[in-house]
Structure 1
Amino acid sequence: MTHVSRRSLLRTTGLAAAGVVAGCTGDDSGDAGSPTDTPGDIVAGPGGAYAFEPESYTASVGETVTWYFASPTHNVGCRPGDAPQIALPDGAEPFASYEDSAGQTVPQGETYEHTFETAGEYTYVCIPHSRQGMVGTVVVEE
């Protein structure tokens, strides 16, 4: 049940942050099921901070985790060699929200998803802000 309440908290805080950034007045006449209704499991750059919220997230093998980009100039990188903080379990596939350039960021309001197939601890970063401590962890359990 902790997973559900965490999602609810992120959904609520993500929507509130999106409303503030967009200048919304609380009118909820938007389309049901739009991406802002379910911003994701992890928020990148909440309130413009160089942080992931939550900093540590627990998932199950086979689960798809979604990052929601609440502010601009962020990405998700878990490819060894892109930053010294990055670590993944033996046999795990590296992942990143960018294809060619580690400096490529995800536009504000968009999401990135990754499905975890290998149990273990994944340490990922926002490449542009890894030196400022924008580091997160996903712990994948069997």
Structure 2
Amino acid sequence: MERSPLETLIILREQELDLVERSFSEAVARETVAEEKLAAAQTEILNEQRAASSSTADDGAVEAFSRWLPAGRQAVLDARECCREAAMDREAVRAALIAARAAMEAVRTLREEHKEEERQADLRKEQNALDELAVRQFGRS
């Protein structure tokens, strides 16, 4: 049996929705990794600061920390930028996901409406056949 264009469209919409859902999952995963990198960079600064400010730290440790701190801050800034980009990517894919779900729902609704129209047409045919039979059977009396 050949597929109707509507059934073909449903299959295409399902494939599109699957693809966008996978893309959304990947975007969320990238954002999570970016957030973990940011947390790690912030934690590294705190750990280095604690080490440099401990009572057992010598002047060399404090100097090493002050030389390292700009790189540590830059790592935090870079990680924040990655988080920002990942969040924007996630939102873009989220918008595509909402659109794909809406398109899928529209096609499903259209299919249901089409089925209902076919059912109504079948009922009209059945009623017409019954009316014709009644006319034949009782109309001649």
TM range (shorter): under 0.3
TM-score normalized by the length of structure 2:
0.23
Greater radius of gyration (CA)? 2
Q: Which structure shows the higher helix fraction?
A: 2
Which structure's relative contact order is higher, taking Cα pairs within 8 Å and 6+ residues apart? 2
